[in-house]
A = this chain, B = another copy of it.
Amino acid sequence: MLLAKVVGTVVSTQKDERLQGMKFLVLQRLDINGKLENGYVVAVDAVGAGIGEVVMYASGSSARQTVLTDKRACDAVIMGIVDTWEVDGQVKYNKGG
């Protein structure tokens, strides 16, 4: 999994029929210290994440291992909203803070 910030949305009316009703969010990747990187990915949201939140997402076939994305043409899923992460004993991100 990688860490990312939810920064936007994608609207697509004409899409594969099994993807109807899905919410597509634009995620901008974060480096290990919480700094925004250039890379992005469009992911389906399986946990009710909102704009501005820091999340974990899973890629590839693992992105289909949620009730919502099972058997869907989806290669990235938000599977967790991050409360906090810590590296080398330092808090790099704290949702409350």
Contact = CB atoms under 8 A, between A and B. Distances in A.
Copies per assembly = 5
A30 to B, nearest CB: 10
Given A64-B65, A79-B73, A85-B8, A14 B58 contact: no
Interface residues of A, number: 59
A89 to B, nearest CB: 8
A80 B28 contact: no
**Which of A14, A31, A46, A84 has its CB near the most chain B CB atoms (within 10 A)?**
A14
Interface of A: 1-3, 7-19, 24, 26, 28, 31-32, 38, 40-43, 46-48, 56, 58-67, 69, 71-77, 79-88, 92
